[in-house]
Structure 1
Amino acid sequence: MCAGIAHHRTAMHDSAVLAWVLFAAHVAVQIIFMVRALLRPHREPSSRLAWILVIALAPVVGVLAYVLFGDSNLGRRRLARLQAAFAALPPAGEVAGPAMEAGVPERYVPLFRVGHSVSHYLPVAGNRAALLPDSASAIAAMVADIDAARHSVHVLFYIWLADGSGLKVVEALKRAAARGVTCRAMADDLGSRAMIRSAHWREMEAAGVQLAAALPVGNPLLHLLFGRVDMRNHRKIVVIDNALTYCGSQNCADAAFAVKAKYAPWVDVMARFEGPVVRQNQHLFASNWMAQVNEDLGPLLRAPLPAAEPGFVAQVIGTGAGVRYSAMPEMFCALMNAARRELVITTPYYVPDEPLQAALCASARRGVATTIVFPARNDSWIVAAASRSYYRDLLEAGVEIREYAGGLLHAKTLTLDGDVTLIGSANIDRRSFELNAENNILLYDTAFTATVRARQQVFLDASAVVSRARVEGYSPARQLWNNLIAMLGPVL
Structure 2
Amino acid sequence: ALPANLLRVAFSRVDLRNHRKITIIDGKIAYTGSHNIACEDFAPKKKYSPWHDISVRVQGPIVRDLQMIFVEDWYLDTDESLEELLDISPGVIEDGVSAQIMGSGPNAYNEAMRQLKHAAFHTAREELLITTPYFVPDEATATAICSAARRGVETTLIVPARNDSRLVAIASRSYYDMLLEAGVRVHEYQDGLLHAKTTTIDREFALVSTANLDRRSFELNFEVSVAIYDSDCASQLRYLQRSYLSRSKPVRLKAWRQRGLPRRLWQNAIGILSPLL
Alpha-carbon contact 1:256-1:264 (below 8 Å) kept? no
Distance 1:456 1:256 in 2: 26
| Cα distance per residue 1:80-128 (max 9 Å; x no partner) | xxxxxxxxxxxxxxxxxxxxxxxxxxxxxxxxxxxxxxxxxxxxxxxxx
Match of 2:253 in 1: 468
TM-score by length of 1: 0.54
Alpha-carbon contact 2:59-2:90 (below 8 Å) kept? no
Matched to 1:350, the amino acid is F
Q: What pairs up with 1:115-264 in 2 under 5 angstroms?
A: 211-212=1-2, 218-219=6-7, 222-223=10-11, 227-255=12-40, 257-264=42-49
Distance 2:207 2:225 in 1: 7
Distance 1:489 1:471 in 2: 20
Over aligned residue pairs, what C-alpha RMSD do you find? 1.7
Q: Secondary structure at the match of 2:32?
A: strand
Post-superposition offset of 1:221: 7.7
Distance 1:407 1:454 in 2: 19
| Cα distance per residue 1:271-299 (max 9 Å; x no partner) | 21111111100000010112223433223
Q: What pairs up with 1:277-426 in 2 under 5 angstroms?
A: 277-426=62-211
Distance 1:366 1:491 in 2: 31
Post-superposition offset of 1:357: 0.5
Distance 1:297 1:461 in 2: 45
Distance 1:271 1:438 in 2: 15
Task: Say which of 264, 276, 282 aligns to 2:61.
Answer: 276
Change in Cα spacing, 1:458 to 1:479, as seen in structure 2 (3 Å) is same
Distance 2:209 2:52 in 1: 14
Post-superposition offset of 1:345: 0.4
Distance 1:220 1:288 in 2: 16
* Larger Rg, first or second structure (1 or 2): 1
Matched to 2:62, the amino acid is V
Post-superposition offset of 1:475: 1.1
Distance 1:469 1:353 in 2: 25
Alpha-carbon contact 1:248-1:424 (below 8 Å) kept? yes
Change in Cα spacing, 1:264 to 1:304, as seen in structure 2 (3 Å) is closer
Q: Secondary structure at the match of 2:147?
A: helix
Change in Cα spacing, 1:307 to 1:277, as seen in structure 2 (3 Å) is closer
Post-superposition offset of 1:253: 2.1
Alpha-carbon contact 1:290-1:297 (below 8 Å) kept? yes
Alpha-carbon contact 1:372-1:402 (below 8 Å) kept? yes
Unaligned runs of 5+ in 2: none
Aligned length: 277
Distance 2:9 2:40 in 1: 34
Distance 1:369 1:256 in 2: 38
Greater strand fraction, Structure 1 or Structure 2: 2
Q: Which has the higher contact order (CA 8 A, sep 6+)?
A: 2
Distance 1:389 1:449 in 2: 30
Distance 1:221 1:439 in 2: 24
Post-superposition offset of 1:329: 1.9
Distance 1:293 1:222 in 2: 17
Distance 1:221 1:239 in 2: 28
Post-superposition offset of 1:255: 5.0
Alpha-carbon contact 2:59-2:93 (below 8 Å) kept? no
Alpha-carbon contact 2:27-2:88 (below 8 Å) kept? no
1:435 and 2:220 are equivalent in the alignment:
yes
Greater helix fraction, Structure 1 or Structure 2: 1
Alpha-carbon contact 1:403-1:463 (below 8 Å) kept? yes
Distance 2:180 2:30 in 1: 38
